[in-house]
């Protein structure tokens, strides 16, 4: 039984440390830097696989106003086909802006569209930068939990040994 507990303790600790490291490394290379050019009465943008909170920055180079949308995959495809956000449910919607910079909480991993539409009758060129917020809290929390359980098993083992030898 002691060997099984030792293996479980080691497995939990190693898995916890691995999850904690992965929470910092996972998709750390995500830094999409794209210029989107949208003509009047159109939606333009790109699709991106993402999950977890992201930093999203968008700015129109000449100060023209635009609308910015983050939509789920199907809504983004519909918007791109119809050149309109009507009949969609944007996850994030900011209208009549010249710049945007916020952390966007993407709770469910998946493919999302980041779309731009001019608010006036002029073509807009919007620079968009998407970055990942690290660490990924879900993985980090599970990693810390597993490390804690591993340490708890180690401490209880040592307390049991100390008790058996009469130290405690």
Is residue 24 in some structural domain?
no
| pTM attached to this predicted model | 0.67
Upstream peptide bond of 135 is cis (omega within 30 degrees of 0): yes
Give the total number of structural domains in the chain.
Answer: 2
pLDDT above 80: residue 45:
yes
Q: Which range scores top for mean pLDDT: 48-57, 60-69, 135-144?
A: 60-69
Is residue 164 in some structural domain?
no
Are 49 and 93 in a shared domain? Answer: yes
Q: Which domain holds residue 15?
A: 2-19+137-158
Are 69 and 142 in a shared domain? Answer: no
pLDDT above 70: residue 26:
no
Helices (H), ranges, the chain: 2-25, 73-82, 137-164
Are 90 and 146 in a shared domain? Answer: no
Are 60 and 88 in a shared domain? Answer: yes
List pLDDT tens digits, range 105-154: 887 888 899 999 999 899 999 999 988 776 767 777 888 898 898 888 88
Are 121 and 149 in a shared domain? Answer: no
Bridge-partner residues for 71, per DSSP? 113
Report the candidate in 34, 69, 142, 51 with the shortest Cα–Cα distance to residue 105. Answer: 51
């Amino acid at each position: 039984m002691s060997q099984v507990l030792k293996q479980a303790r080691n497995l939990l600790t190693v898995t916890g440390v691995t999850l904690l490291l992965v929470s910092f490394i996972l998709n750390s290379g995500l830094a999409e830097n794209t210029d989107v050019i949208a003509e009047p009465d159109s939606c333009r943008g790109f699709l991106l696989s993402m999950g977890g909170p992201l930093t999203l920055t968008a700015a129109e180079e000449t100060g023209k106003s635009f609308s910015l949308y983050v939509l789920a995959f199907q809504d983004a495809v519909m918007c791109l086909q119809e050149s309109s956000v009507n009949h969609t449910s944007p996850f994030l919607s900011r209208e009549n802006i010249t710049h945007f910079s916020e952390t966007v909480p993407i709770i469910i991993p998946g493919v999302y569209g980041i779309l731009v539409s001019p608010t006036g009758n002029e073509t807009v060129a919007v620079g968009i930068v998407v970055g990942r917020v690290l660490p990924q809290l879900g993985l980090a929390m599970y990693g810390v939990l597993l490390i804690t359980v591993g340490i708890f098993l180690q401490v209880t083992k040592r307390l049991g040994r100390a008790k058996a030898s009469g130290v405690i």
